[in-house]
Structure formats: structure tokens, C-alpha cells
Structure 1
């Protein structure tokens, strides 16, 4: 795994990463960090996607959500075709800097999922007593 990606400084010690004030992302073996996007006003989880160094840099520089498509192997800006641009209200990095959380407001029709729903998380998996892995999912929107 490469510890240095483009515009981002090299990673330091675990203490520097966890307690320091520099962004030094821990990109995985595929060169990606995970990004969780939530609605800035409601807190609802909208989507989970991945960013390579270029997508993370563009997100920081533009204030809009940019991602790396693992299936298409290409950089993309959320909303380019749908109008559902993610405008970043706040961006945070987790303790070991291998994931980011963006609080966003969504442009266009306000939806975020390519299926036309507000969130990509629109089905419930029951858990606990009596729940089975082969269950039917429950739609919530």
C-alpha cells in the first residue's frame, strides 16, 4: 500500500495520524477511502461511496461530492447527470483517516440514490430473535 498520494502529505506515526491536525489519508490497497454521506439537516445516511486521492482532493477544493467508481473505474461527480449534486456542509475524517464523513445538502430533486429514492438505504434487514438471513427485506421508502 502506498502511504503517499498526490497532494496529501505522507502519513506519520499512529499518534500523529490520530491526534495531529494534518490530513494524511490511509488509502487502501486499491487506493481508496470510504466516504459516508449524510443529510446535513436530518442526519439520514444517504449513500456510501469511495474516493481515490483525486476524488478526495476535488471534493475538498470544490465543496462538492466527487467519487471513484469501482465498477466503471472512473472519477465522477455526484449529480453530473441527475442534478443531485452533493454540496458539502461539513467534512470529517475518522480516527485513523481511512474513512471520511460528509454532511451534505443535495441539489436537483433532493434524491440521492440512482433508483430515484432519497437514500440508498431504503430496505430494512430484521435482526434479533427469530430473524433469519434468508428473510424478505422490508422497504421503507
Structure 2
């Protein structure tokens, strides 16, 4: 990971994990559907803010990735919000194609664990 030129006031509000990351909840802007969970460090957040395209830190590959760069399933960012504790980021996006690497619309449609009846 690299050191970012993130706005110092924003950087000061972020509460990162021990490895410098913040979880990111990604939500479809028009439907409010939760699409996925990803991770950002300061540099990924700066790249997202600068480009308007969702950029994340891949923990498995140990590298940055722009969502949809290879698949075409891009996320155009409409809003970036920080929760009240500064430990979670919410991206509201216009999703093109599938959000999940499995090819589904959302990463949260595979296993229903519990549902109120």
C-alpha cells in the first residue's frame, strides 16, 4: 500500500484496522440494494474520490483494483459517506453489470441464514 494525499481532515476521521484498511459497504444508488463489501486504505479512497470509479484494496492480491476494470462491471460512484464512528465507508454507486465476482447482482444473495417469518 502507498501513502495517499487524502484530505488530512478526512484522513483524521478514519478509524482503520491494524493493517490500515476501512471496510466499505457498496450500495446501488437507485435501488438501495446492498451489493458488496470491500476494503479501502487512504490511497484507494483518494483514487475513488479523484476518479469517480470505485477503487479498492484487494487483501488476497495485495494490490489496488478498479471495480470492473477487467470485467466491465463498473461502479460509478455517486456518493461517499463515512459512518458516525469513522470506521465504515458507504459508497452509493451506479452499478453496470454484476457486482459479485460470481456473476450475480449482489454478493448477498447466495446463503439465507435467517429470515423473520
Kindly state the Cα deviation for residue 95 of structure 1 after the two structures are TM-superposed.
Answer: 1.2
Deviations 1:24-82 (A, max 9, x none): 32222101001000010111100000001111110111111100011111111110111
Aligned partner of residue 124 in structure 1, secondary structure? coil
Where do 4+ consecutive residues of structure 1 move more than 3 Å? none
Deviations 1:87-120 (A, max 9, x none): 011110011212100110112xx21101110000
Larger Rg: 1
Q: 1:6 maps to which residue?
A: 4
User: Which residue, 11, 23, 33 being the options, matches 1:34?
Assistant: 23
Q: 1:114 maps to which residue?
A: 101
**TM (normalized to structure 1)?**
0.73
Tell me if 1:99 matches 2:88. yes
Kindly state the Cα deviation for residue 7 of structure 1 after the two structures are TM-superposed.
Answer: 2.0
Q: 2:114 maps to which residue?
A: 126
Kindly state the Cα deviation for residue 127 of structure 1 after the two structures are TM-superposed.
Answer: 5.5
| Residues in 1 aligned to 2:101 and 2:42: alpha-carbon distance in whole angstroms | 24
| Residues in 2 aligned to 1:33 and 1:81: alpha-carbon distance in whole angstroms | 24
Gap regions ≥5 residues in structure 2 = none
Q: Tell which has more relative contact order, 1 or 2 (C-alpha 8 A, sep 6+).
A: 2
**TM (normalized to structure 2)?**
0.87
